[in-house]
Structure 1
Amino acid sequence: MDTESRGLQQGSSSCWSTSAAAWGSSQQKRQRCEGSSSDQVGSSTSGSVQMSEPGLPDTDYVENEEEDYYMDDDDDDCDDDNDDESEYEFDEADFNQQLADKFDDLDLPPGVEATVPWLQKIAAPDEQDTSSELTEDEITKKYKAFAQFYTVENFSDHHYADKSVGKPSREWAKRIQHEWKLLEKDLPASIFVRVAEDRMDLLRAAIIGPKGTPYHDGLFFFDAHFTASYPSQPPLVYYHSGGLRLNPNLYNCGKVCLSLLGTWSGSGCEKWNPAQSTMLQVLVSIQALILNEKPYFNEPGYAGSANTPTGQQQSIEYNKNTFLHSCRTMLYSLRRPPQYFGDLVAGHFRERGRTILAACKHYLEGNMVGSVVPEEEEGEHDGTRASSSSSSAPKQEASRADLIVRRSQFCDNLKTLFEDLLMEFNVKGADTRKFIEEKLKKNLPAA
């Protein structure tokens, strides 16, 4: 039986009793808990989740989007009809200087600094030290030790930090302990959770985007709050969007539209059941039902066109825009990781950076977003040969002028994001030598 099934079947009917002493012992035990993380994504059955807002997000890319990952979004002021991306303004000169400072100690192929302005200050070989290697080793060490479930003291940046449950009842505390026990035991390998010892009502989760979707290898963060009426009412859940709308069910204001949370209509097992529904079920549902391979059809107004050529083409275009937003979200997370998840962010993108960059190249060649990236990428890394990427996945057919224009916009935006990701992944020690050498060959003048 897979992890999702176990999570869905467990309920609160078996809430276990505990004394104050036992609770203290449990806290100490959780503080010592350690585990290992994995970049593999647990498989789940995809479905279609409905929501109320029609329309596709604006596909125009705003140049130099560089806002802090956390935005002051207000759920009550969420405009269902506004899908425009937020404007991100920053000092380009200052930003380039910061990047140059980051790259001062990197060991890059000779000549790269001559073609890239932010690499011109790289030190000579005899002046370089091993600080970057030590940092990379530390990143890997912390990443491998990052437990899937762990208790922390408190959250200073939690979206619901200002909400209080007052003096919770004993039954409420027992139910939260039961939720923690389920999460500690049954979390899929691609979901990480931190709960607060001093604020049992707060929880933060990171979900890795599943393979085969436009969210692959991304990290998506959610804050949850168990109200005083829990479990009679479902938890409140907020998505850290960075102001981006990358799914019909994940609003740019942070709203998560899901029947299980009561934010969308549903019936039967789709709705919250106080006796059986759990926080584990909520997290698995977000990953399986929302972050799926064709999120365009999560919108109920478009679900009926799923088997039509027009619907399929619109879904392809939506996935392109979604992947662009996912890449921007990666940048926000790298530059300002959520509290207690810095080690996960650094280690995850150090390990997956090469794969993400290979996927960007794959999509720039005209392959569909979410399609399998050829084994050539892994083969070159391991010193073996593999087939060319140009024939490993279906190409998109753009028969109309507007589709050609959209593809041109997508490629321009993705090329810009590729350069930004290449810089950030280098800082984290990802294996990007292949892409830097390609950049060098492209920019060097002919002999």
Structure 2
Amino acid sequence: MNTIQQQLSDSRVAKQAINELRIQDKQRVLERIASLLQIHSNEVLQQNQLDLERMENDDPKYDRLKLTVERIEGLAQSVLDISRLADPTDRLLSTKKLDNGLLVEKRTVALGVVGVIYESRPNVTIDVAALCIQSGNVCLLRGGSDAWYTNRYLVGLLRQALVECGTDPNIVQLLPTERALVNELLEAVRYVDIIIPRGSQGLIDFVRQHAKVPVIETGAGVCHTYVEASADLAKAARIVANAKISRPSVCNALDTVLVDDKIDKQFIEQLIPYFSEAAVDVFASDKLYDIFKDAGYPFIHRADDADFGREFLDLKCSIKEVDGLEEALTHIAHYSSKHSECIVSQDSIKITKFMRSVDAAAVYSNASTRFTDGGEFGLGAEIGISTQKLHARGPFALEKLVTEKWFVTGDGQIR
């Protein structure tokens, strides 16, 4: 295939079809999707295995690509959760009657046709489709070649559910993975209303630089946790360990630990048992390297400049001592991707300053950054975590897949 013109045209037709669906119709589609995922979980795993066999086990993307029975069940449950959320469209935002008798209302409407470009995450296929269907949007999915077999099968199930529920299967379409066709999507201003990239910084930068269609960035996550001098060190070690170890390949995982130099040795002593068990590679500043080395930690390396501001997506992190809150804030301001940042502290004044000063989509005190997630925030799921400030910030979920439209009702008024 050397063009996606037909798929783009089909998306405009499908836009009319989804506009005609009531909330009950959309819920019925999502319930059928969840059922098909459960019925065909073995087939999904078989297709996923074909993709996994083409990737090295130690590739950081491997965990993102891998599906399990539990993960498929989680996807099905997520779809059901989304189906139970309120319809975000046709909400009355404001209304007024003008002196000339015109009734002016502002309501929410679907964005239209949403193009999503993503890498090695077949769960995104289901999450995006479910969110788009529930919010009345058509979606064009361009997944990575790494997940082609899995995505192709999943989209087949999505389209089967749409057909069985009596509507246009082109409400969800999977685009080819050929790189040459990406620009056709990015320039399809007549057909596509918005593009959302989800993946590496390189992918996001490419889309931003080449798109003519409006773009909402879901940014890479370079996430810090600052352990302040007053912190409960046992609590801090658990938080840092969870943020790094629980699922290192995702964007809300910790990348850099900043620790106050007054308590760095005591904190590292608390942290080492967690990191040793998980074999976390630590890239440390010179002072902290010596502390880890003296403690006999085997997975220690000297950090260089490139290890700060780096999204590891693996069981690796960097660590550095800082001389108090101001230095921590300066470091984060320089290296942060504005995704999720955390302070562990018992000093309420410093917590407040940190929370108000740090420029990020989500800021935490005394909790793991791993909570930055649409499902965890009670939003059902998300397309990604937006790190920009226009239209949406943080989990880009159902509530943000709409825009505004003005409805003006008159009785012959002229100007």
TM-score, normalised to structure 1, is 0.26
Higher normalized contact order (CA 8 Å, seq sep 6+, divided by chain length): 1
TM-score, normalised to structure 2, is 0.27
